[in-house]
Amino acid sequence: MGDHDRMKGLNTGYNAPSADALETSMSQVASALADPSRVTMLCALMDGRAWTATELAVLADIAASTASGHLARLLNSRLVICLSQGRHRYYRLAGQHVAGLLENLMGVSMHAAVPPATRTPAHLRYARTCYDHLAGELAVEMYAFMLQQGWLESDGSALTADGKHQFAQMGVLLNPAARRKSCCACLDWSERRFHLGGEAGSAMMTFFISKAWMTRVTGYREVQVTARGRQALKRIFNLPDA
């Protein structure tokens, strides 16, 4: 009996079918990311909006038929979802977990090339969207303040009682029935520090936009802080340069 046959008879506790399925799934996701046009589309969808296939084709500078093939690949890999609105079809990221994967991949890619400070555009480094929450220097400083003031648990996994009170005082509406994580520390790819993600991060971003403290640049991840917003953020988060 060969070594392979003897190994087959051992009860190692290793679930081969599940492992094989996981490995296959991982390779499919990696393969879906291994194309510049598909990566361009995914990066565009990081702004949290839904895009049409035509818009994504124009952005990636490819033919509409080619874009359809790429989007089908991303759909099969469960990296994007398709939404129907009347006669139109829109595509968006499948969720925050995909956005987190892309943010981490950006960080690894930038680190492997050159130091991020020399490559990341200043306007994106200061404030941008990470799917549906705020990222960049501003978000990192806000997170550090909230952690220091005891608004967050030490690992960023949840708001403390004081944090919930402070959010309520600001007027940030949290959804207690949200199916996603209520709060999480999201690693910022340009700053290599954490910013606020999860339902709390999304709710805070929604609040900033509703108060006109921030505006989003259509079609891009850039976020601009208004004069009114700079004053408010300075007051709430003790950010002199906000």
Task: Tell me the average pLDDT of the chain.
Answer: 84
pLDDT classification of 151: cutoffs 50, 70, 90: very high
Residue 226 vs residue 100, higher pLDDT: 226
Q: What percent of the chain has pLDDT over 90?
A: 48
More confident residue, 81 or 124: 81
Please write the tens of the pLDDT for every residue from 64-91.
Answer: 999 999 999 999 999 999 988 778 889 9
> What is the rounded distance in angstroms from the CA atom of residue 160 to the CA atom of residue 162?
5
Q: pTM (2 decimals)? A: 0.61
Which of the four pLDDT bands, split at 50, 70 and 90, describes residue 2? very low
**Assigned CATH for 3-94:** 1.10.10.10
- Top pLDDT among 9 and 237 is at 237
Structure tokens at 62: 């490819």
* Domain boundary assignment for the chain: 3-94, 97-237
Q: What pLDDT band is residue 230 in, cutting at 50, 70 and 90?
A: very high
Is pLDDT larger for residue 14 or for residue 136? 136
* 117, pLDDT greater than 50: no
